[in-house]
Structure 1
Amino acid sequence: MIYSNHFGISGRPFSLVPDPGFLFWSTNHSRAYSMLEYALATFAPISVITGEIGAGKTTLIRHLLSAAAPDLRIGLVSNAHGDRGQLLHWVLDSLRQPLGRGLSYVQRFSQLEEFLRSERAQGRHTVLIFDEAQNLSAKMLEELRCLSNLNDENDEILQIVLVGQPELNEIIARPRMLQFAQRVSAQFHLSGMPAEAVAPYIAHRLYVAGAKRKIFTRGACELIAAASNGLPRVINQICDYALVYAFAEDERTVDADVIRQVIADRKIQSLSGAAAPIG
């Protein structure tokens, strides 16, 4: 990055690409991850994690994938769409199973069940994680409920984790989704981190990037907290621009004046419930 040498850091500490190496355990993120661990440990058939855009959901998923125990077989499905028949295609692909042409729905279902039972016989159980699950249709969610019925009291072979934006909870709460809702055993909403956690979050990411000194002042961090509502993605956007601004002015620290300029130029506003996007 153009500012790396100027600030004595490597790479881009505030990249918008989720990176488990930069994971910061705010209270909310710790609770969300603990709920995921609880769900897996108790063989919850269906778990739901929701959060605003940029709250850090995908980063948590990536950490889970990197830290998964050997007895877990995890399939990650991102932005699945289509009908109930196509859902099985997404699932089998996430588990790296062959996708034969011209197979009927029944054949794909049998293929999946055979795979799940084979994994269980070898001491592994399978977890399907659906990212951006708010995009799943009601029919696809109903199909997931049917897949969860493959479990019985003597043989837990499949767990399903849905991760999505808050509207996912609204979908599940609909009267027609009652049977699905009854299968949800673990649920958590990941909100933005509290204001007092923003400065440690910024310092943590800079430390991981190799910073040896304090770069953002207390006043700068307070303004960032107010403008971002504690959402990591928005914090990262503001900080990244702020480093560019400070570099352009040959400043060694980022103070409140720099943040005010970034906010003014990028039209960032503190809104009730969510932070406005930059740009």
Structure 2
Amino acid sequence: MNKTAPTDIYNTHFGFSERPFTLLPDPEFLFWSRDHRLAFTMLEYGMMTRAPITVITGEVGAGKTTLLQYMLRTLGEEADIGLISNAQGGRGELLQWVLHAFSVQFDPNFSYVQLFQQLQEHMLDVYARGRRMVLIIDEAQNLTPETVEELRMLTNINSNKDELLQLVLVGQPEFRDMIRQPGLRQFLQRVGASFHLGPMSPQTVAEYVAHRLGVAGGTGAEIDPAAIPLIHEVTGGVPRLVNQICDLALVYAFSADQPAVTEQTVRSVLDDGVYLGGFASERNPTQ
């Protein structure tokens, strides 16, 4: 087996400047599939038109957080951004989350009315300074219908005809199901832009893999195109799962001193049970 520094993994072997398939969201590796381009367009549209609410949904690992991070880079300095990654709790707790997100100091013993009043005063102050507020909530599927309705109420705070707060909610498919409930029809009516990120097709997986290999300094040939159908089958086209199995396959190819990942390399990863992605457990693609 080749010897290498622990932080290098297989990079020197393949000529990479960095690992191409890490599991952490990285806007530098963002691949503009048709769906990702449309999702980002809807995010931009929501921002440009100052839509009260923008909703983006998709499966776990579909690339929603990476899109969010990329969007944050494009927002101008005129916006105050509040980011909540995993809000939970009731109405009063939600207001505390929002105040924290915008770095507003408050007394934790305040009543709901006092918290609401403090947030409203802050929103009016931001507006008076010619700025706007954008509240981004990631993992929105963890909200309750009651807190979703409370968020809608926050978008009712306005000055003349101007919205003081824009909401961007990003979550898993169950969030889309939640907001379609009859009790949340007023919330749904305030959604000005939305998109659902679906899984990638086999062709898109091939383009995605080649893209990430290239960004990392590779040629794109480090994973044989013949291995792509199997990669797509066992990952269902979910980007994070594609990253997971490709990373493991590159480790296997490096360990065997192979110049590229082949279909057999991927099968070896599956046979050894080191890939724990959800789709691999539903079928055995090596049989």
Shared fold, TM over 0.5: yes
CA distance in 2, matches of 1:103, 1:154: 30
What residue is the counterpart of 1:72 in the other structure? 79
SS of residue paired to 1:139: helix
What CA RMSD, in Å, does the superposition of the two structures yield over aligned residues?
2.0
Q: Structure 1 residues 275 and 40 mapped into 2: Cα distance closer, same or farther (>3 Å)?
A: farther
Letter in 1 for 2:100: D
Match of 1:137 among 141, 144, 161: 144
1:245 matched to 2:277? The reply is: no
What residue is the counterpart of 1:167 in the other structure? 174
Q: Structure 1 residues 89 and 4 mapped into 2: Cα distance closer, same or farther (>3 Å)?
A: same
CA distance in 2, matches of 1:228, 1:213: 20
Q: Structure 1 residues 183 and 42 mapped into 2: Cα distance closer, same or farther (>3 Å)?
A: same
Paired positions, count: 274
Letter in 2 for 1:201: Y
1:49 matched to 2:62? The reply is: no
- Asked if structure 2 preserves the Cα contact closer than 8 Å seen for 1:228 and 1:275, the reply is no
Shift of 1:267: 5.9
What residue is the counterpart of 2:198 in the other structure? 191
Match of 2:165 among 140, 155, 158: 158
Shift of 1:153: 5.5
Which blocks of at least 5 consecutive residues in structure 1 are unaligned?
A: none
CA distance in 2, matches of 1:183, 1:268: 37
Shift of 1:226: 2.4
CA distance in 1, matches of 2:235, 2:71: 26
Q: Structure 1 residues 16 and 213 mapped into 2: Cα distance closer, same or farther (>3 Å)?
A: closer
Deviation by residue 1:3-24 (Cα, 9 ceiling, x = unmatched): 1111111332211111111111
- Asked if structure 2 preserves the Cα contact closer than 8 Å seen for 1:71 and 1:124, the reply is yes
Shift of 1:173: 1.3
Letter in 2 for 1:255: T
Match of 1:110 among 117, 135, 156: 117
CA distance in 2, matches of 1:217, 1:75: 43
Deviation by residue 1:164-205 (Cα, 9 ceiling, x = unmatched): 011111111112222222222222111112221212211221
Mean Cα deviation higher: 113-122 or 44-53: 113-122
1:82 matched to 2:82? The reply is: no
- Asked if structure 2 preserves the Cα contact closer than 8 Å seen for 1:269 and 1:275, the reply is no
What residue is the counterpart of 2:4 in the other structure? none
1:207 matched to 2:207? The reply is: no
SS of residue paired to 1:74: strand
- Asked if structure 2 preserves the Cα contact closer than 8 Å seen for 1:46 and 1:184, the reply is yes
Shift of 1:263: 2.7
- Asked if structure 2 preserves the Cα contact closer than 8 Å seen for 1:78 and 1:131, the reply is yes
CA distance in 2, matches of 1:37, 1:240: 32
Shift of 1:25: 0.6
Letter in 1 for 2:49: T
CA distance in 2, matches of 1:269, 1:130: 26
Mean Cα deviation higher: 28-37 or 102-111: 102-111
Letter in 2 for 1:167: E
